[in-house]
Structure 1
Amino acid sequence: MQFNQELQTGKLVRRYKRFLADIELENGEILTVHCPNSGSMLGCSEPGSAVIISRSDNPARKYPHTLEMVQADSVWVGVNTSLTNKLVRE
């Protein structure tokens, strides 16, 4: 899948309040990011899981980063439900 934004990798610290997750970047910085999946994400929300996040340049966003993918059992899982139609088209 092609992304328009630059992507960053990190580790999932925790997911909470349905739409938020704390991510630890490779440099040790902790970010609170938007999680665009309101489901339980069973198997995709284990602390320590590798993640990929994107950053939006929209200054109106409260959380500029978005959780895009989580690695579960060595497979990358797309968790951004707004991208499902785009993924099928590709």
Structure 2
Amino acid sequence: MDKALDTINAQLVNIFDNVLRIEAASVTDKCGAKLSMTEVHTIAAIGTGDLKSMGEVAENLHITVGTLTVAINNLVKKGYAIRYKSEKDR
């Protein structure tokens, strides 16, 4: 049974690696080398609709607020995002 599980695990890892490679190639085709995958996922998470807090977006992406801050700062510098300060912020 262990050999079967090892085979399944190896196949799943291979599939996951292929998905990441295809995703990265697609982003490069569409955006050039301007955006990292982290930045693309961040844009998808912040969306264009309702304003979300950094905590909400970080939770959605399963990353820390610190990691999100770096990604948002990069997106702001590149002109892909605008940072708004909420009235509720301290």
Q: Normalised by the size of structure 1, how large is the TM-score?
A: 0.21
Richer in helix (by share): 2
**Larger RCO: Structure 1 or Structure 2 (Cα < 8 Å, ≥ 6 residues apart)?**
1
Richer in strand (by share): 1
Larger Rg: 2
Q: Normalised by the size of structure 2, how large is the TM-score?
A: 0.21
